[in-house]
Amino acid sequence: MTYRQARWTREGCLEPLVFELSRAGRKGTSLPPKVLARIKIPDKLIRRSLELPELSEPEVVRHYTRLSQMNYGVDLVFYPIGSCTMKYNPKICDELANAEEAACIHPYQAEETVQGALELMYRLERYLAEIAGVSRVCLQPSAGAHGELLGMLLVRAYHRSRGETRTQVIVPDSAHGTNFASAAMAGFNVVVIPSNNRGRVDLEALKSAVSEKTAALMLTNPNTLGLFEDEILEIAGMVHEVGGLLYYDGANMNGILGKSRPGDMGFDITHFNLHKTFSTPHGGGGPGAGPVGVVRKLEDFLPVPIIEYDRKRYYLDYDRPNSIGKIRSFYGNFGVLVKAYTYILMMGASGLEEVAETAVVNANYVMRKMADVSGFEVEFDGPCKHEVVFSAEPLKRETGVTARDVAKRLLDYGMHAPTYYFPPIVPEALMVEPTETETKEELDRFIAAMREIAEEARLNPEKLRAAPTATAIGRLDEVKASREPILSWKMYRKLAKE
Amino acid sequence: MKKLCLIVNPIAGMGGRVGLKGTNGADIVAKSLELGAKPVSPVRAVEALRVLKKSGAEFELITYPAEMGELEAAEAGLKARVIGNIASGKTTADDTKRAAKEMLELGVDIILVAGGDGTMSDVIEAIGTRAPILGVPTGVKLHSAAFANTPEVAGQVAARFLSEGLPLQEAEVMDIDEDAYRENRLVAKLRGYAIVPYEPVMMQTTKEGSTGFELADQKAIARWTIELMERGRVYILGPGTTTRAVAEELGIYDSTLLGVDLIYDFKLFARDANERQILEAIDGKPATIIVSPIGRQGFIFGRGNQQLSPAVIRKVGKKNILVLATPHKLSLTQTLKVDTGDPELDDELRGYIPIITSYLQTHMVKII
Amino acid sequence: MPHHYIPNVREIKEQMLRETGIAGIDELFADIPQKIRLKRKLNLPAAMSELEVKRHVRAILSKNKPFTQMPSFLGGGAWPHHVPAHVHSLIQRAEFLTSYTPYQPEASQGILQALFEYQSLICELTGLEVANASMYDWATALGEAALMCARATGRRKFIVPELISWERLSVLRNYVSGPDLKIVGIGYDGRTGQLNLDQLHRELDEDTAGVYIENPSYLGFLETQVDEIAEAAYLAGSKFVVGVNPISLGLLKAPGDYGADIVVGEGQPLGNQVSFGGPALGIFACRGDEKLIRQLPGRLVGMTTTLDGKLRGFTMTLQAREQHIRRERATSNICSNEALCAVAAAIYLTSLGPRGLRELSEICAANASYAMKRLKTIRGLETPIFSSPHFNEFTLKCTKPKLTIEKFNARLLSQGVHGGKPIRSEFPKLGETALLCTTELHTREDIDMLVEAAARAVGGKA
């Protein structure tokens, strides 16, 4: 194995901080001349000092270019992070989102000057509605968790409109952590139900959990184990019977595109992750977008404005008396929406179906091939969808090496680590989502790497625990980072003085 | 250099193989040997030590002579400092207690105790919660939560504790009435608590799990429990650290850890109440029982809280039972159990119930 | 037809299925009940080639008129500035653009250090010690700030100025609806716009979790009573939150220096295109007080070393904090944020430096000053409506009878100038008024063009 990540080093660090590179008198950009007019701001409101670094443009470029080289991205390596759908980000999407007509328009411009933006968003809404089987979509949420919060606010508004105060939201124990947090943020109590021995929602537990207090059930389908909730119709029935709503977390939509639609499964609210299924780049943590679609009975509550079309022009409708208001300023992450729209056009109906088919074939291929890598097991029988969860518990029992150690060692093979320790119901979990944009060869390489790592765990566990060693830097002292937090250059200077 | 002390109860686990339930009492030990029982505890203790050695963690090992640790350490290839005196071949509970006291005096980072519930009870009788303890499960009776799941896991947890550090929590130490047990009567006692290191649920992301810290989780549970409390209702608080957190959140710092306390109008009404006192207190008033699973088997009734008799439970009513448990506790036991002494009542209590596991959060768990 | 993003074409998929003993693709979807199986193709356009998609999307986008092609004086929370070319090219680098949240610090030092630098730069701007690695936008940052104040103080009232953008207020209300916090609005002096301190003192009590002001305010003027407001909040045991346009902090005093505990704001003008309002960048900074840091929402990047202590590195830290926050009464749920926009902001601020940012904010303020000076001379217009110092935004009121602000704007547009945001629907008492903004994008000629167009719009027929 001869992989090695790019690496720069200086004395005691990989790359100095911009504050350390600063030299008085330098500047990194130019400004147009000032109009001659007096600024009538009293002196006492003017700041006396501002300590920003002073670098020239070439230095800025060199610094950040070097930093970028010490960073994994899906354009560089295999990134099998479960439930994140790290697929290839088409460059045409970025090019169009960066065009002047997309980037240089202001949200408050007169509507006749932004008909293009309104039209694009309107069309995107309709495409998403068709993909999910819902009647209307809101593009405002800026991230998955943001969309979840919107979903929960819609649930509350719906029940309130019927004169009911429902306090409980049901969530399976395998759910994403943001599900719990979003429900609590909207003021709901969270009722967690266990998964059964097939890895799916335990119907008996669900039956005990639903009542007239049930506001909603939040579900991902396929679930976080990569398994399709085949009893979804019974589940939907149970929740609807008590008057509750069904919320769909779209994180795993990549496994069912074109095969089945949340709206048809009985979901009242469907959430999308554009930065997952619809391939907008993750950007190191954002920006993303988490649109939310609803069935007819919830349309009234959607945030304002709604984009409407009267056959002649597109316009923003704010006249929605039952709307919950806004959940962010303006209309959403437009730059991200342009990319998602472009992606859908590039794939087309059959392309999206092929996405799901290939993602599922790739995941099952990995699952089956991993069956003869000892040390890892899959707890649940049957095919998975677009992702598979392995347990490294056998390896841990045998060698003491943990899922985390395995994940760190994978970094040395020029791959990003899969998600580990999630979902929490699987011990030593490793959640692998290959996506449809990976080659068979890369998947084979992954399996070979896991095999080598398992061997190394048996023969040389200390070496494994020292991983990663082929990345720009080795393991960091995370305990020190939280015990003595240094969160800014200011804090660092202060501590250095003491 | 961190100090790890080792106490091995050489005869723990021996009775089980030949059908005897425990090895307390010299006559039982003699009987076991007669029946051909072979010592089991030392072998398991060595398994744990081997894992510890393999981990490469650095520590000074201090232990008691011969079969109480010296031999096991040597077998695992670990250098040890031997302290104390014993009569080899005739060790008793007193030796265990003395060992624990002497080790505490030396200043110890953690004590590995290889044995069963009885051994663990002896250790905490001697030193209480004054030093972290980790149980290597070698005995037959392993109801205490202070034990790791297997000897290997004990070794791994100890290794992590020594090299990286781990959070600590209080864990129940149980012991069962030996004589009653042999007559097939299960009368459990909650002996007390040990301070035990635990591995928080590892979080890669801010995706869910517990906070990873038992105390914070207990506080969150307590906070919600209190929001649900009303005036004019008697709250019967069962034993345990989670229910104690509820009392503390109300500003009550003198509730009992091992007994049942009564709270009324947000004040401590009765301390360490028995069945009769409880029945008197709830006569004519609405009441709620607040309990938490005890030990590793997940019993919410029947282990250490016999004051909550069938009469009390029936009078309070099934729908007024509030169960509290941290996510970490639930990770030890997937299901809950009841053993009130009244099989009919047990049946009525079975099924899924909501358990408060955090602020505004409950888990549906099955009572089997 | 194989798709060029999907390498495992049909033959290869078939080979993979053969190798693993799977009969066919259908077998893998067999567990989806028939009733919910989609038995038709999705009703979407057929796949297009890249060239066709480009044509199609550009055709739609061409129906937009960018503000780079006409003088536009819109602001109000999204401010157009020049994004230096190198900022754009650096964040287009694939290693930044296509990376995931840096949960594996060993392989992600690039973005981690860039975010640490962003946090640090925001601290220098705001005068506080800690900043998180971004929130979605100013409005949601404000919502999170209110929740944080409630968590930190255990109280339930949050005070805001009446002169706040309705969008931010709406978002705030939604954010605090879970724990059901109370939002109270404080009035303003009709002449100066300054916060009504008497009313503030009356509302401040032992249930006040936080007091929020915007400086510069939503309508562009500076709040000159910040010291009094800070003290009042402090004496009542409440937190003091200030909302900002970070560009203004090149010139104006840092809120941390006049008593702010938390600063929120819109970071979009720092190196990010307006992009129709999103992606945006929510700034969130707080005092380095240990208890406060524990309540800070969002991701934090911290400095540390390798295990052997030899090399400096960066990692996401205090993540248990995020779990703890979720165990509190007023939770936060933020996961993904606006990381790439934060990196752009870091590059932008580093490039500007202290004198560049100072100069830039002076240009913005001077342009506004010039615009107001010239617009003032037009009969039928009043600007600004508040007699307080302004930064780069100002109000413009039509006093000519029967001339609505919408009609005024329409007349400007027909002359190729885009006016400001009408605010009559938000603040009916302020009459036919619009909010205008100037930045370094505006040349003297642009402003002169606005003035001439305005004169014509008021004077008579356009």
Q: What is the 3-state secondary structure (H, E, C) of chain A?
A: CCCCCCCCCECCECCCCHHHHCCCCCCCCCCCCCCCCCCCCCHHHECCCCCCCCCCHHHHHHHHHHHHHCCCCCCCCECCECCCCCCCCCHHHHHHHCCHHHHCCCCCCCHHHEHHHHHHHHHHHHHHHHHHCCCEEECCCCCHHHHHHHHHHHHHHHHHHCCCCCCEEEEECCCCHHHHHHHHHCCCEEEEECECCCCCECHHHHHHHCCCCEEEEEEECCCCCCCCCCCHHHHHHHHHHCCCEEEEEHHHHHHCCCCECHHHHCCCEEECCCCCCCCCCCCCCCCCCCCEEECHHHHHHCCCCEEEECCCCEEEECCCCCCCCCCCCCCCCHHHHHHHHHHHHHHHHHHHHHHHHHHHHHHHHHHHHHCCCCCCECCCCCCCCCCEEEECHHHHHHHCCCHHHHHHHHHHHCECCCEECCCCCCCCEEEECCCCCCCHHHHHHHHHHHHHHHHHHHHCHHHHHCCCCCCCCCCECHHHHHHCCCCCHHHHHHHHHC
Based on the fold, state whether residues B232 and B312 are members of the same structural domain: yes
- With contact defined as 3+ CB pairs under 8 Å, the chains touching A are B, C
Based on the fold, state whether residues B65 and B120 are members of the same structural domain: yes
CATH number at residue C420: 3.90.1150.10
Domain housing B39: 3-197
Based on the fold, state whether residues C405 and C269 are members of the same structural domain: no
* Mean pLDDT in residue range A407-423: 93
3-state secondary structure of B123: helix
Residue C162 has pLDDT above 70, yes or no: yes
Identity at A305, one-letter amino acid code: P
Torsion of Cα atoms, C441 then C442 then C446 then C447, to 10°: 160
CA distance B254 to C458: 79
CA distance C33 to A260: 9
For position C461, what pLDDT does the model report?
43
Based on the fold, state whether residues C378 and C338 are members of the same structural domain: no
Mutate to test the interface with A, among C98, C167, C194, C369 (most CBs of A within 10 A): C98
pLDDT level of residue B184 (50, 70, 90 thresholds): low
Find chain B residues with C-beta within 8 A of A180's C-beta. 208, 361
Based on the fold, state whether residues B104 and B248 are members of the same structural domain: no
3-state secondary structure of B349: helix
Based on the fold, state whether residues C325 and C188 are members of the same structural domain: yes
pLDDT tens figures, C174-222 = 999 999 999 999 999 999 999 999 999 999 999 999 999 999 999 999 9
Find chain A residues with C-beta within 8 A of B203's C-beta. 421-422
CA distance C319 to C337: 15
Class of domain A92-346: alpha beta
Tell me if B22 is assigned to some domain. Answer: yes
For position B329, what pLDDT does the model report?
83
Q: Are the Cβ atoms of B205 and A208 closer than 8 angstroms?
A: no
- ipTM of model over 0.95: yes
For position C60, what pLDDT does the model report?
98
CATH number at residue C152: 3.40.640.10
pLDDT level of residue B168 (50, 70, 90 thresholds): confident
Helix axes A440-459, C10-19, angle to 10 degrees: 30
Based on the fold, state whether residues B190 and B224 are members of the same structural domain: no
B141, B169, B197 — which closes off a domain?
A: B197
Based on the fold, state whether residues C183 and C270 are members of the same structural domain: yes
Residues ≥6 apart with Cβ < 8 Å to C133: A285, C115, C118, C119, C298, C299, C300, C301, C337, C339, C342
* Mean pLDDT in residue range C400-427: 96
User: Cβ distance A147 to A271 under 8 Å?
Assistant: yes
Kindly identify which residue of chain C lies nearest to residue A419, measuring between CA atoms.
C103
For chain A, where do the domains classified as CATH 3.40.640.10 start and end?
A: 92-346
When the pLDDT of each residue in chain B is averaged and rounded to a whole number, the result is 85
B167, B197, B227 — which closes off a domain?
A: B197
Number of domains into which chain C is organized: 2
CA distance A337 to A346: 14
Tell me if C195 is assigned to some domain. Answer: yes
Question: How far is C106 from chain B, CA to nearest CA, in Å?
Answer: 14
For position A176, what pLDDT does the model report?
86
pLDDT level of residue B16 (50, 70, 90 thresholds): low
Based on the fold, state whether residues B190 and B267 are members of the same structural domain: no
Tell me if B206 is assigned to some domain. Answer: no
Tell me if C13 is assigned to some domain. Answer: no
CA distance B121 to B131: 14
Helix axes C109-126, A57-69, angle to 10 degrees: 140
Tell me if C242 is assigned to some domain. Answer: yes
pLDDT level of residue B206 (50, 70, 90 thresholds): very low
CA distance A153 to B72: 61
Residues ≥6 apart with Cβ < 8 Å to B317: none
Mutate to test the interface with C, among A14, A47, A388 (most CBs of C within 10 A): A47
pLDDT tens figures, A219-250 = 999 999 999 999 999 999 999 999 999 999 99
Based on the fold, state whether residues B33 and B76 are members of the same structural domain: yes
Based on the fold, state whether residues C139 and C240 are members of the same structural domain: yes
Based on the fold, state whether residues B190 and B218 are members of the same structural domain: no
Based on the fold, state whether residues C453 and C425 are members of the same structural domain: yes
**Considering only CA atoms, which of A210, B158, A181, A203 is closest in space to residue C332?**
A181
Cα-based distances in Å from B104 to B1, B147, B158, C427: 16, 19, 17, 73
CA distance A488 to C130: 6
**Considering only CA atoms, which of A55, B331, A459, B267 is closest in space to residue C352?**
A55
Chain B residues interacting with chain C (CB cutoff of 8 angstroms) = 203-206, 208-213, 216-217, 219-220, 223, 358-359
Based on the fold, state whether residues B12 and B108 are members of the same structural domain: yes
B142, B169, B197 — which closes off a domain?
A: B197
Based on the fold, state whether residues B182 and B226 are members of the same structural domain: no
Question: How far is B207 from chain A, CA to nearest CA, in Å?
Answer: 4
Tokens of B333: 């036991």
Based on the fold, state whether residues C382 and C423 are members of the same structural domain: yes
For position B114, what pLDDT does the model report?
94
Tell me if C32 is assigned to some domain. Answer: no
For position C134, what pLDDT does the model report?
94
Tell me if B203 is assigned to some domain. Answer: no
Based on the fold, state whether residues B218 and B192 are members of the same structural domain: no
Identity at A430, one-letter amino acid code: L
Tell me if B202 is assigned to some domain. Answer: no
Based on the fold, state whether residues B81 and B189 are members of the same structural domain: yes
Q: Are the Cβ atoms of C320 and B220 closer than 8 angstroms?
A: no
A169 phi, psi to nearest 5 deg: -120, 130
B175 strand-pairing partners: B189
pLDDT tens figures, C37-65 = 999 999 999 999 999 999 999 999 999 99
3-state secondary structure of C224: coil
For A189, the closest of B202, B203, B362 (CB atoms) is: B362
In the sheet where A419-420 sits, what is the strand order?
A388-391, A429-432, A419-420
CA distance B84 to B89: 15
B209 in contact with A at a CB cutoff of 8 Å?
A: yes
**Considering only CA atoms, which of B214, B368, B238 is closest in space to residue B298?**
B368
When the pLDDT of each residue in chain A is averaged and rounded to a whole number, the result is 95
* Mean pLDDT in residue range C253-269: 98
Residues ≥6 apart with Cβ < 8 Å to A135: A129, A293, A294, A295, A296, A299
- % of chain C surpassing 90 pLDDT: 93
pLDDT tens figures, C343-396 = 999 999 999 999 999 999 999 999 999 999 999 999 999 999 999 999 999 999
Tell me if C318 is assigned to some domain. Answer: yes
Find chain A residues with C-beta within 8 A of C100's C-beta. 72, 74, 79, 81, 84, 86, 282, 284-285, 416
Based on the fold, state whether residues C110 and C211 are members of the same structural domain: yes
Q: Are the Cβ atoms of C337 and A286 closer than 8 angstroms?
A: yes
CA distance B60 to B46: 17
Class of domain A356-479: alpha beta
Tell me if C9 is assigned to some domain. Answer: no
A222: cis peptide before it, omega within 30°? yes
The residues in A 132-191 lying below 8 A from B, measured between CB atoms, are 173, 175-181, 184, 188-191
Tokens of B294: 């005890």
For position B181, what pLDDT does the model report?
59
pLDDT tens figures, A134-145 = 999 999 999 999
For position A165, what pLDDT does the model report?
93
Number of domains into which chain B is organized: 2
A194: cis peptide before it, omega within 30°? no
For C273, the closest of A76, A103, A265 (CB atoms) is: A103
CA distance B207 to A249: 14
C416 in contact with A at a CB cutoff of 8 Å?
A: no
Q: Are the Cβ atoms of A177 and B351 closer than 8 angstroms?
A: no
For position A483, what pLDDT does the model report?
85
Based on the fold, state whether residues C173 and C309 are members of the same structural domain: yes
For position B179, what pLDDT does the model report?
63
For C319, the closest of B206, B217, B223 (CB atoms) is: B206
CA distance A464 to A458: 10
Tell me if B204 is assigned to some domain. Answer: no
C199 in contact with B at a CB cutoff of 8 Å?
A: no
Mutate to test the interface with B, among A152, A173, A190 (most CBs of B within 10 A): A190
Residue B15 has pLDDT above 80, yes or no: no
For position B188, what pLDDT does the model report?
63
Tell me if C320 is assigned to some domain. Answer: yes
* Beta strand residue intervals within C114-199, DSSP E: 130-131, 157-161, 182-186
Residues ≥6 apart with Cβ < 8 Å to C453: C411, C412, C415, C416, C417
- % of chain C surpassing 70 pLDDT: 99
Based on the fold, state whether residues C308 and C449 are members of the same structural domain: no
> For residue A198, with 0-12 CB atoms within 10 Å meaning exposed, 13-18 middle and 19 or more buried, which class applies?
middle
Residues ≥6 apart with Cβ < 8 Å to A310: none
Residue B151 has pLDDT above 50, yes or no: yes
Q: Are the Cβ atoms of A462 and B56 closer than 8 angstroms?
A: yes
How many other C-beta atoms are found inside a 10 Å radius of the C-beta of residue C59? Answer: 11
Over the Cα atoms of chain B, what is R_g?
A: 21
Based on the fold, state whether residues C299 and C380 are members of the same structural domain: no
Q: Of A355-359, B80-84, B302-306, give the range with the top mean pLDDT.
A: A355-359
Based on the fold, state whether residues C187 and C270 are members of the same structural domain: yes
Domain housing C385: 73-80+355-459
For chain A, where do the domains classified as CATH 3.90.1150.10 start and end?
A: 356-479
Based on the fold, state whether residues B182 and B323 are members of the same structural domain: no
For position B187, what pLDDT does the model report?
62
User: Cβ distance A273 to A255 under 8 Å?
Assistant: no
